[in-house]
Amino acid sequence: MAGDYDEGLTARRRVLGDAWVDKSLAGLNDFNSEFQNFITRYVWGEIWTRPGIDERTRRFMVLSTMMALGRWEEFQLHVGAALRSGFTRDDIKEIILQQSVYCGVPSGNHATAVAQKVIDGMKA
pLDDT digit string, tens, across residues 38-81:
999 999 999 999 999 999 999 999 999 999 999 999 999 999 99
pLDDT at residue 2 in the model: 65
Three-state SS for 4? Answer: coil
Which residue intervals of the chain bear CATH 1.20.1290.10?
54-124
Residues ≥6 apart with Cβ < 8 Å to 49: 3, 7, 8, 11
Give the pLDDT confidence of 1-42 residue by residue, as tens digits: 567 999 999 999 999 999 999 999 999 999 999 999 999 999
Higher pLDDT residue, 27 or 123? 27
Average of pLDDT values for 76-96?
Answer: 97
**Cβ pair 84, 119 in contact under 8 A:** no
Q: Stretch 81-97: mean pLDDT, rounded?
A: 97
Contact 111, 76 (CB under 8 A): no
Percentage of residues of the chain with pLDDT beyond 90: 95
Predicted confidence at residue 3, as pLDDT, reads 76
pTM: 0.90
Tell me if 110 sits within 8 A of 71, measured CB to CB: no
Judge whether 107 and 70 are in contact, CB under 8 Å: yes
pLDDT at position 106: 97
Overall fold of domain 54-124: AhpD-like (1.20.1290)
